[in-house]
Amino acid sequence: MEAAAPTTRSDDLRVMSLIGLAHATSHFFHLVLPSLFPWLMADFGLSFTRAGSLTTAFFVVSGIGQALAGFVVDRLGARRVLWTGLALFALAAIVLGLARGYPPLLAAALLAGAGNAVFHPVDFTVLNSRVSQRRLGHAFSAHGLSGNLGWAAAPVLMTGIAAAAGWRAAAFSAGAVAALALAAVVLLRGIIADDGPQGRESATGPDGSPVAFLRVGAVWMCFLFFLASTMGFGALQNFAPSVLKSVYGLPLASAASALTAYLLGGAAGIAAGGFLAARTQAHERIVAVLLVVAALMALALATGALPPASVLPFMALVGFCTGTANPSRDLLVRRAAMERFGQRSFGRVYGFVYSGLDVGLSTAPILFGRLMDRSLFSAVLCGVALFQGLAVVAALQVGHARAATAADGAP
């Protein structure tokens, strides 16, 4: 097993900062198109369904591409793949800014989704191989927090520029963001280790198959964990204001503030979760306990019996619990990859596992949208709790699957 990670704090911080910038750019592009929907719908006469289909296209391509990108990272190295992803973002923004009809809008969504596909395989390959193991919990925490910052920046920047100078100017500004990030990772490329083509022996399973990891139960449980947990997140991200307005009679502004509190609580939880993950190896239990608490709080919200004034702090606590679980979650995936395939399988394992996020984000609006159309608002919160519970089961099964693999005598 390789052990080439730098050991100094300053080296680790440089790696975390550069990868954090790339990850923030990725999350920024998640919300470029949705932030511009009011202008795009007006200019092109789009329905909500056609506009929403652009986001679905983004995440479908990202999910498929992410599973495939991991193989490319393991084969070619992380650096060039990262450059390609950022370049695709810049190209997508240019296509968006020049769009004169729906097909170019769809093309921009597809290009951006392809660009987004590379980031989790690249990011976690670099972090796992270049950051000292004792600071990996903090590295994963910083990675998650940078993504949240990208989410927070996109609506503010995109809507602000669109309101002042038009949506095309906003689209080109998004391209400038991607170009600046690309320039940074090219100029600072020495920070990212890139060993070139990876050796077949260390990047494959004992039988030489590049897809041997798909026969490992722990990898599938990690995928199911990401899928289930993201379904709950997707439901709240898309529908929380409307749900809370209907269940508790909150003004729309207050209901939207509760969603903001959820997202801010998640960011605070990610920061705290790095310290927690660094101090224990019981990552399955940490994830399980935190998500059980989040599920119970979602069920309490679903009853509609809480005082309306308590909704905002409840949402913040749900976000805090789910965010705190994230660094332990990422370390859980690392163990599933390392114990059988070593460092040179990070790309394909993380790529496949994290494609569960894209599946969840593309599926949640469809599933929970049907409940919303039927005015089953409390059922949406019950669904959030259900999927958090399924995520708990998957996390615990990761430990069982790893134990079974060890009992079978796998290396």
Q: Are 410 and 340 in contact (CB under 8 A)?
A: yes
Which residue in this structure is represented by tokens 């509760």?
A: 258
Summarize pLDDT for 1-60 with one digit per residue, the tens. Answer: 344 444 688 888 999 999 999 999 999 999 899 889 889 989 999 887 788 788 889 989
Helices (H), 249-310: 252-278, 283-302
The answer on pLDDT for 253 being more than 60 is yes
Whether 9-198 and 213-406 share one fold: the answer is yes
C-alpha 329 chain-centroid distance: 12
Which string of DSSP letters, residue by residue, matches 9-56? HHHHHHHHHHHHHHHHHHHHHHTHHHHTHHHHHHHHT--HHHHHHHHH
Note the Cα 269 to chain centre separation in Å: 15
Least Cα distance to 118 among 180, 148, 74, 158 occurs for: 74
How high is the pLDDT of residue 326? 86
Per-residue confidence (pLDDT) for residue 194, from 0 to 100: 58
Tell me: the pLDDT tens digits for 64-84? 998 888 888 888 888 999 999
Q: Concatenated DSSP letters for 163-215?
A: HHH-HHHHHHHHHHHHHHHHHHHHHTGGGS---SSPPHHHHS-TTS-TTGGGG
Return the residue matching tokens 């789009």: 46
Query: What pLDDT is recorded for position 294?
Result: 93
Name the CATH topology of 9-198: Growth Hormone; Chain: A; (1.20.1250)
What count of other Cβ atoms lies within 10 Å of the Cβ of residue 371? Answer: 19
pLDDT of residue 296: 95
89-93, 153-157, 213-217: least confident range: 213-217
pLDDT at 198 over 50: no
> If pLDDT is split at 50, 70 and 90, which confidence band does 338 have?
low
Homologous superfamily (CATH) for 213-406? MFS general substrate transporter like domains (1.20.1250.20)
Q: Where are the domains of the chain?
A: 9-198, 213-406
How do residues 103-115 score in pLDDT, each as one tens digit?
Answer: 999 999 999 999 9
Of residues 262 and 346, more confidence is placed in 262
Return the pLDDT at 2.
42
Least confident of 250-264, 304-318, 335-349: 335-349
Mean pLDDT of 78-98: 96
More confident residue, 370 or 294: 294
Contact 79, 189 (CB under 8 A): yes
Instruction: Check whether 184 has a pLDDT greater than 90.
Output: yes
- For residue 88, pLDDT over 60 is answered with yes
DSSP string, 232-261: HHHHHHHHHHHHHHHHH---HHHHHHHHHH
What percentage of the chain reaches a pLDDT higher than 90? 39
Residue 197 pLDDT exceeds 50? no
Q: How much is the mean pLDDT over the chain?
A: 85
